[in-house]
Structure 1
Amino acid sequence: MNEPAPHTEAPGRRGPGRFRGPFTRWPRTADAVLATALFLPTALLEEAPGDAVAVRPLSDILHPALLLFLAAGAALYRRRSRPVAVLGVVLVAWAATLGSSHSTLGAMVIFALYGVGRYAEDNRWGPLGVVAAVTALTIDGLLLSVPWGDIGFGAFVMSGAWYLGRRLRLRAGRAARLVEEQAAEARRIVTEERTHIARELHDVVAHRVSMMTVQAGAARMVAAEDPQGALEAMAAVEEAGRQALDELRHLLGVLRPDAQRDGLGPQPGLADLPRLVAEVREAGLDVSFSGGDRDPIPARVDLSAYRIVQEALTNVLKHSGPGTRTEVNLRGGGNGITIEVLDDGRGAAVGSVATGQGSRPGHGIVGMRERALLLGGTLDAAPRPGGGFRLTAHLPIEGDPT
Structure 2
Amino acid sequence: MNTDSTTSPVIDDSFPDRKQAEDIAAKVERFVRDVVIPYETDSRRDHHDCPTDELTRELRQKAREAGVLTPHIFADGGHLSQRGTALVLIRSGLSPLGPLACNTAAPDEGNMYLLGKMGSPMIRERFLQPIVEGKKRSAFFMTEPANEGGAGSDPSMMLTECHRDGDEWVINGRKAFITGAEGAGVGIIMARAQEGACMFVVDLPDPAIRIERVPRTIDSSMPGGHATVMIRDLRVPDEQMLGAAGDGFHYAQVRLAPARLSHCMRWLGACIRANEIASDYANRRMAFGKPLIDHEGVGFMLAENLIDLQQSRLMIDWCAGVLDRGEKGGAESSMTKVAVSESLMRIADRCVQVMGGSGLTEDSIVEQVFREIRAFRVYDGPTEVHKWSLAKKIKRDWKQNNG
Q: Larger radius of gyration, structure 1 or 2?
A: 1
Same fold (TM over 0.5): no
TM-score range, shorter chain: under 0.3
State the TM-score, normalized to the length of structure 2: 0.23
More helix by share: 1
TM-score, normalised to structure 1's length? 0.23
